[in-house]
Amino acid sequence: MTKKISNEKPHEHLIKDAKKLVQAYPKVPLTVDCVIFGFEENKLKVLVIKSDLEYYQGHYSLLGDIVKDNEELDQAAYRVLKERTGMNDVFLDQVRAFSHPARHPGGRVITVAYCSLLNINHHELKIHDNDLNWHTVSTLKDMAFDHKEIVDECYSWLQKMIQEHPLGFNLLPEKFSLRELQNLYEAILGVSLDRRNFRKKFASMDLLVDINEMEQDVPHRPGKLYKFNFEKYEKNKRKWIGIDF
């Protein structure tokens, strides 16, 4: 009944010209910023560049760019990544938007932060720019804009994500030893883990493939090398149901 009445009501105030509507919207400059993590010498690193703003002279900044007309945010982030590192097919995920009106000294700019993980020693990785460098995350400070806040947020995001998803492998070479894997977890989570339990855990997941190779050129007894079986993981991804807080 009620439905009928509302259906019969003439559609007053319906907007016919969507284009005109959108043209009247206020517009803001929009950028993406990439927090590109790497892992080297048992430390989590992030790729930064010297700010090109005089205002932030000497401070580091994240790699970012404006979002182009008709460009998706993900696309823009991939573009930044490709332009700056030469890398394709890198893990990348949106974290969140940062919108403080005064976050940019040049006026309002909203940015969407992306988190990316790559292997610092990947042969295709090309860091062209001299001012680009891998900075240890734990010693970062005085960044340009709100970039420190963005890094902090992405770092927290990463800490949570590597416990729930096999992201960490993106930071390692394709072949890695269990020790390297454990070092990665320990460095990122900032804890030390029991070696036997760590190995048992990964063994029970049955997602590491023993490739029958050993580490080379290590100054100690070499460990076995493994690959991560991404296909198997994708197939068996388990839906976790539980309540825990």
Partner DNA sequence: CAAAGTTGTGTAATTTTTACACAAAAAAGA
Partner DNA sequence: TCTTTTTTGTGTAAAAATTACACAACTTTG
Q: For the CB of residue 208, give the shortest distance to DNA in the complex, in Å.
A: 11
Q: Select from DNA, a second copy, none the partner in contact with residue 199, using the beta carbon and a kind-dependent cut-off of 5 to 8 Å.
A: DNA
Taking residues 148 to 187 in sequence order and writing x for each that binds a second copy by CB under 8 A, - otherwise, the string is: --------------xxxxx------------------x--
**Binding a second copy by CB under 8 A: which of 43, 59, 79, 96?**
96
| Long-range contacts of residues 206-210, Cβ cutoff 8 Å, at least 24 apart | 206/232, 207/166, 207/232, 207/233, 208/178
Partner touching 52 among DNA, a second copy, none, CB below 5 to 8 Å by kind: a second copy
What value does the CA radius of gyration of the chain take, rounded to a whole number of Å? 23
Tell me which of 199, 227, 229, 233 binds DNA, using CB under 7 A.
Answer: 199
- 222, 230, 236, 237: residue in contact with DNA (rule CB under 7 A): 222
Q: Does 177 sit near DNA (CB under 7 A)?
A: yes
Residues in Cβ contact with 2 at an 8 Å cutoff, skipping those fewer than 6 apart? none
* 100 forms part of the interface with a second copy (CB under 8 A): yes
What six digits make up the tokens of 79? Answer: 């573009």
Q: How far is the CB of 163 from DNA (least distance, A)?
A: 11
- Among positions 149, 175, 205, 232, the unique one binding a second copy when judged by CB under 8 A: 205
Q: Is 197 in the site for DNA (CB under 7 A)?
A: yes
Beta-carbon count within 10 A of 207 CB: 18
In the chain the first and final C-alpha atoms are separated, in Å, by: 46
Distance between CA atoms of residues 68 and 83, nearest Å: 15
144 exposure class (CB count in 10 Å sphere: 0-12, 13-18, 19+): buried
Residue numbers at the binding site for DNA (CB under 7 A):
177-179, 194-197, 199-201, 218-224, 242, 244
